[in-house]
């Protein structure tokens, strides 16, 4: 074990401003550090940091701190009051560490057994922080992490910052021939944005508490700090409401969270430094409220829970006192239940149909000189704002609430585009970006990753930039079930979390994907099903454990992007989300790899080695159909992907020919090329609500042919 640091250099990503540079520099460091140490050098050079989000400053030094069964943690809270939260976090840390390494640690008590006060144990981790952090927007979250031959030191202002450092430390776990341990590093880290969120829509589909909790664990692992919980919709009202019990009793199919469960989730999140901001979407998106309380709608009832998806008419009546009496009592209860200082009121997609056809509302508008529905909604929002203010909540809402009548204390949640983000900032409103982070739309990770809340083209000054608080990935739930939610959120959201946390210059896509693969596996330790449910769905479809041919196809098959899946069938609350497409990932992994390989093959001089690599893959695809056909024949549910499998075989054949052509320098005629392109064009059609993904890569192979 090399135990003396022989190299130390801090790299500021802010100042060097680019991941490519950082990595190039890092490789250089690695080379410079270990040029003379023989086998050990080779071993050490294998170590590539696998951090996500990438810290602001990272220095890698020469050496490896071994992890043994004697490993212990000591807590030095510098005279500040002790934090039960950090004790629990350390207990989870040890549990995850022993889970990965199989080590039977000698010290491993829950909330106990962690020595406090002493300055450190020479053979373990020392954690110190100055005060217990508040789970609140803008709280201090920085930390420093130093690993050398004397041990591991984690220092932070708050216990929340220390918990971020613990997650970084867990990502640093590595192995050398002697066993597990941690590379010597000096890390100084803090977030770029204070608002780093994930929204989960528990309304279009319902997700039990355990599903929420495992996602909170994963959020903490990638340093997200806001759980935005979408709790009311046309399709369901999901919170136990004591003031108006018909909300949850009649508006939820029995699928709602009890207040005990909500308190449990909030405490669980707070233990991980995560805020829980509820959203009650009003005045539109509110059918489920009116099942029990039709009197507050703008048109007479009765109402029933909406089963379809889209924009619907039911809207609160903004013109009657009863509506505001209702909301006063409602928000009083909810403000007490949810401790976060923000309350999200939605406010999106009110289509105005009920308002336009209600004579009373029309009369009200005339009488009060309200010129259109937009202004009527502003009137409504002002009344709601007063209620929220009374209960000490700040108001947040989607783009539509951005109206000049409202004070700049509200927060604009931008879903429609960056224009609104910019306009809000210019006009002194704080805002949070979700446009570009709609993870329900099955777009590739890099699309979200390169979407920066503070992109240069916004043209904001420094003061205005500060008003952009951060962003939120939004997991809308029309097309996800408990079985698939994790695979839609993860691992893509880890890359979005990096966008919110790391310096803007960290944006090398290939490196992001490399790190993402490792992080994705680590996320499984929280019980996430994003990897394991793929095979499970395939086994169910095939009624068999032998699903290899299905996996081969699935690895180059993605759900239709955007809202295109809705054009393939009328999805309702009851529709099965268990088909082949539901097992597919938005980022078909083989497709991405293949694309990179094709690019290398096409831009460099074609080598036999690169060619063979492509040919092996192409042959697997070509030969897969025959095997898959046998499974499809006994599983009618798989019939819908039969032509996709056939087409994969056909376009793989085209790819094989194209690779052979390039390797041998052969040029085929125009006719062959046209035939190939026709085949590729046909292969683009949607099948089974998804599509093949390697078509453009195969098309690339045809260039210069």
Active-site residue numbers?
349
The answer to whether residues 654 and 702 touch, using CB atoms and an 8 Å cutoff, is yes
DSSP 8-state secondary structure symbol assigned to residue 399: G
- Restricted to residues 564-583, the positions that interact with a copy of itself (CB under 8 A) are 569-570, 572, 574-576, 578-579
Residue 536 in the binding site for a copy of itself (CB under 8 A): yes
Identity of the residue, 101 or 128, whose beta carbon is nearer to a copy of itself in the bound complex: 101
Q: With contacts defined by CB under 8 A, name the span among 10-18, 25-33, 102-110, 286-294 that binds a copy of itself.
A: 102-110
Identity of the residue, 138 or 636, whose beta carbon is nearer to a copy of itself in the bound complex: 636
Residue 540 in the binding site for a copy of itself (CB under 8 A): yes
Identity of the residue, 472 or 587, whose beta carbon is nearer to a copy of itself in the bound complex: 587
Tokens of 159: 């216990």
For residue 39, the minimal CB distance to a copy of itself (Å) is: 13
Residue 103 in the binding site for a copy of itself (CB under 8 A): yes
Tokens of 404: 């000049």
Per rule CB under 8 A, count of chain residues that contact a copy of itself: 59
Q: Choose which of 115, 194, 294, 518 interacts with a copy of itself (CB under 8 A).
A: 518
For residue 47, the minimal CB distance to a copy of itself (Å) is: 11
DSSP 8-state secondary structure symbol assigned to residue 132: P
Q: With contacts defined by CB under 8 A, name the span among 73-81, 191-199, 543-551, 648-656 that binds a copy of itself.
A: 543-551
The answer to whether residues 584 and 676 touch, using CB atoms and an 8 Å cutoff, is no
Residue 511 in the binding site for a copy of itself (CB under 8 A): no
Q: Choose which of 29, 170, 175, 504 interacts with a copy of itself (CB under 8 A).
A: 175
Classify residue 685 as exposed, middle or buried by CB count within 10 Å of its CB (0-12, 13-18, 19+): exposed
Residue 529 in the binding site for a copy of itself (CB under 8 A): yes
For residue 292, the minimal CB distance to a copy of itself (Å) is: 15
- Restricted to residues 478-497, the positions that interact with a copy of itself (CB under 8 A) are 482-483
Residue 666 in the binding site for a copy of itself (CB under 8 A): no
- Restricted to residues 241-270, the positions that interact with a copy of itself (CB under 8 A) are 253-254, 258, 260
Residues in contact with a copy of itself, shown as a per-residue x/- string from 434 to 473 under the rule CB under 8 A: ----------------------------------------
Tokens of 237: 């009202």
For residue 575, the minimal CB distance to a copy of itself (Å) is: 5
Integer Cα distance of 202 and 514 in angstroms: 31
Integer Cα distance of 686 and 101 in angstroms: 44
CA dihedral 296, 300, 302, 305 (to 10 degrees): -60
Identity of the residue, 459 or 576, whose beta carbon is nearer to a copy of itself in the bound complex: 576
For residue 615, the minimal CB distance to a copy of itself (Å) is: 20
Residue 533 in the binding site for a copy of itself (CB under 8 A): yes
Q: Which residue has the tokens 């990179």?
A: 596
Identity of the residue, 193 or 490, whose beta carbon is nearer to a copy of itself in the bound complex: 490
Identity of the residue, 111 or 417, whose beta carbon is nearer to a copy of itself in the bound complex: 111
Q: Choose which of 349, 423, 511, 525 interacts with a copy of itself (CB under 8 A).
A: 525
The answer to whether residues 93 and 170 touch, using CB atoms and an 8 Å cutoff, is yes
Contacts of 653 (CB under 8 A, 6+ apart): 618, 622
Integer Cα distance of 344 and 327 in angstroms: 14
Classify residue 673 as exposed, middle or buried by CB count within 10 Å of its CB (0-12, 13-18, 19+): middle
Residue 81 in the binding site for a copy of itself (CB under 8 A): no
- Restricted to residues 196-215, the positions that interact with a copy of itself (CB under 8 A) are 208-210
HEC per residue, 142-189: CEEEEEECCEEEEEEEEHHHHHHHHHHHHHHCEEECCEEEEEEEEEEE
Q: Choose which of 99, 301, 310, 407 interacts with a copy of itself (CB under 8 A).
A: 99
Could you write out the DSSP letters of every residue in 68-108? -TT--EEEE-TTSPP-HHHHHHHHHHHHHHHHHH----S--
Of 49, 43, 27, which is closest to residue 187 (Cα–Cα)? 49
Residue 539 in the binding site for a copy of itself (CB under 8 A): yes
For residue 535, the minimal CB distance to a copy of itself (Å) is: 6
For residue 428, the minimal CB distance to a copy of itself (Å) is: 45
Q: With contacts defined by CB under 8 A, name the span among 21-29, 106-114, 376-384, 470-478 that binds a copy of itself.
A: 106-114
Could you write out the DSSP letters of every residue in 493-547? HHHHHHHHHS-TT---HHHHHHHHHHHHHHHGGGT--TTHHHHHHHHHHHTSS--
For residue 196, the minimal CB distance to a copy of itself (Å) is: 26
Three-state DSSP class for residue 129: strand
Integer Cα distance of 199 and 29 in angstroms: 40
Of 555, 571, 568, which is closest to residue 652 (Cα–Cα)? 555
- Restricted to residues 332-371, the positions that interact with a copy of itself (CB under 8 A) are none
Q: Choose which of 15, 39, 369, 545 interacts with a copy of itself (CB under 8 A).
A: 545
Q: Choose which of 111, 118, 245, 407 interacts with a copy of itself (CB under 8 A).
A: 111
Identity of the residue, 482 or 646, whose beta carbon is nearer to a copy of itself in the bound complex: 482
Identity of the residue, 102 or 138, whose beta carbon is nearer to a copy of itself in the bound complex: 102
Integer Cα distance of 27 and 35 in angstroms: 12
The answer to whether residues 230 and 204 touch, using CB atoms and an 8 Å cutoff, is no
Classify residue 310 as exposed, middle or buried by CB count within 10 Å of its CB (0-12, 13-18, 19+): exposed
Identity of the residue, 173 or 602, whose beta carbon is nearer to a copy of itself in the bound complex: 173
Identity of the residue, 36 or 112, whose beta carbon is nearer to a copy of itself in the bound complex: 112
Residue 102 in the binding site for a copy of itself (CB under 8 A): yes
Q: With contacts defined by CB under 8 A, name the span among 243-251, 407-415, 515-523, 607-615 that binds a copy of itself.
A: 515-523
Q: Which helix (H) or strand (E) holds 469?
A: strand 468-475
Q: Choose which of 531, 602, 663, 673 interacts with a copy of itself (CB under 8 A).
A: 531
Q: Which residues pair with 200 in a beta bridge?
A: 229, 475
Residue 117 in the binding site for a copy of itself (CB under 8 A): no
Identity of the residue, 99 or 562, whose beta carbon is nearer to a copy of itself in the bound complex: 99
For residue 356, the minimal CB distance to a copy of itself (Å) is: 31
Tell me the torsion sign for CA atoms 212, 218, 224, 225: positive
Integer Cα distance of 505 and 492 in angstroms: 19
The answer to whether residues 454 and 178 touch, using CB atoms and an 8 Å cutoff, is no
Q: Which residues pair with 257 in a beta bridge?
A: 239
The answer to whether residues 182 and 65 touch, using CB atoms and an 8 Å cutoff, is yes
Identity of the residue, 309 or 500, whose beta carbon is nearer to a copy of itself in the bound complex: 309
Q: With contacts defined by CB under 8 A, name the span among 100-108, 218-226, 274-282, 364-372 that binds a copy of itself.
A: 100-108
For residue 151, the minimal CB distance to a copy of itself (Å) is: 20
Q: Show the CA angle centred on residue 583, arms to residues 582 and 587, nearest 5°.
A: 95
For residue 369, the minimal CB distance to a copy of itself (Å) is: 45
Residues making contact with a copy of itself (CB under 8 A)? 94-95, 98-105, 108-111, 175, 177, 179-180, 208-210, 253-254, 258, 260, 482-483, 517-518, 521, 524-525, 527, 529, 531-533, 535-536, 539-541, 543-545, 569-570, 572, 574-576, 578-579, 633-637, 640
């Amino acid at each position: 074990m090399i135990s003396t640091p022989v190299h130390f250099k801090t790299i500021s990503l802010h100042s060097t401003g680019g991941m490519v540079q950082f990595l190039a520099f890092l490789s250089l460091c690695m080379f410079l550090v270990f040029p003379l140490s023989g086998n050990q050098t080779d071993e050490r050079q294998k170590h590539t940091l696998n951090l996500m989000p990438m810290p602001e400053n990272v220095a890698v030094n020469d050496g490896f701190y071994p992890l043994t069964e004697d490993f212990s943690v000591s807590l030095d809270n510098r005279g500040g009051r002790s934090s039960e939260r950090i004790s629990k976090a350390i207990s989870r840390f040890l549990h995850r560490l022993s889970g990965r390494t199989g080590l039977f640690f000698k010290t491993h008590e829950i909330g106990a057994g962690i020595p406090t006060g002493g300055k450190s144990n020479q053979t373990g981790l020392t954690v110190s922080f100055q005060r217990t952090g508040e789970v609140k927007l803008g709280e201090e979250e920085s930390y420093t992490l130093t690993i050398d031959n004397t041990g591991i030191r984690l220092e932070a202002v708050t216990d929340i910052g220390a918990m971020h450092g613990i997650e970084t430390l867990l990502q640093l776990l590595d192995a050398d021939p002697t066993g597990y341990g941690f590379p010597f590093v000096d890390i100084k880290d803090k977030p770029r944005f204070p608002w780093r969120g994930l929204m989960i829509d528990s309304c279009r589909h319902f997700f039990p508490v355990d599903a929420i909790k495992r996602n909170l664990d994963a959020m903490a692992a990638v340093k997200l700090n806001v759980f935005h919980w979408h709790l009311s919709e046309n399709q369901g009202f999901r919170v136990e409401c004591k003031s108006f019990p018909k909300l949850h009793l009649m508006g939820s199919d029995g699928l709602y969270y009890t207040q005990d469960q909500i308190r449990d989730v909030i405490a669980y999140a707070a233990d991980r430094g995560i805020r829980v901001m509820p959203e009650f979407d009003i005045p539109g998106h509110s059918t489920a409220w009116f099942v029990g309380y039709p009197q507050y709608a703008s048109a007479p009832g009765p109402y029933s829970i909406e089963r379809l998806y889209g924009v619907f008419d039911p809207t609160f009546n903004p013109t009657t006192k009863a509506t505001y009496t209702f909301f006063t009592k409602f928000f009083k209860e909810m403000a007490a239940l949810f401790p976060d200082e923000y309350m999200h009121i939605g406010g999106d997609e009110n289509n105005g149909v009920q308002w336009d056809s209600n004579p009373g509302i029309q009369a009200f508008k005339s009488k009060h000189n309200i010129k259109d529905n937009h202004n009527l909604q502003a009137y409504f929002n002002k009344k709601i704002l007063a209620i929220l203010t009374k209960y000490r909540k700040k108001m947040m809402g989607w783009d539509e609430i951005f109206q000049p009548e409202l004070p700049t204390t509200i927060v604009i949640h931008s879903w429609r585009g960056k224009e609104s983000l910019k306009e809000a900032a210019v006009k002194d409103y704080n805002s949070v970006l979700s446009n570009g982070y709609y993870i329900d739309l099955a777009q590739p990770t890099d699309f979200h990753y390169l979407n920066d809340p503070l992109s240069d083209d916004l043209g904001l000054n420094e003061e205005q930039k500060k008003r952009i608080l951060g962003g939120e990935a939004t997991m809308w739930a029309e097309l996800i079930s408990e079985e698939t939610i994790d695979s839609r959120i993860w691992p893509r959201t880890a890359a979005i979390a990096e966008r919110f946390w790391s310096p803007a210059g960290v944006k090398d896509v290939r490196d992001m994907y490399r790190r993402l693969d490792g992080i994705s596996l680590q996320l499984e330790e929280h019980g996430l099903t994003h990897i394991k449910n793929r095979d499970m769905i395939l086994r169910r479809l095939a009624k068999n454990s032998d699903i290899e041919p299905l996996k081969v196809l699935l690895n180059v098959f993605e759900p239709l992007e955007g809202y295109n899946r809705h054009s393939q069938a009328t999805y309702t609350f009851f529709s099965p989300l268990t088909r082949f497409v539901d097992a597919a990932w938005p980022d078909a992994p083989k497709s991405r790899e293949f694309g990179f390989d094709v690019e290398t093959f096409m831009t460099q001089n074609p080598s036999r080695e690169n060619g063979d690599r492509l040919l092996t893959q192409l042959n697997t695809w070509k030969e897969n159909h025959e095997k898959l056909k046998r499974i499809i024949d006994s599983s009618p549910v798989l019939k819908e992907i039969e032509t996709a499998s056939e087409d994969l075989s056909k376009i793989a054949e085209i790819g094989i020919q194209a690779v052979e052509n390039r390797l041998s320098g052969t040029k085929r005629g125009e006719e062959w090329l046209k035939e190939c392109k026709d085949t590729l064009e046909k292969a683009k059609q949607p099948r089974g609500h998804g599509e093949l993904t390697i078509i453009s890569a195969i098309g690339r192979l045809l260039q210069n042919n």
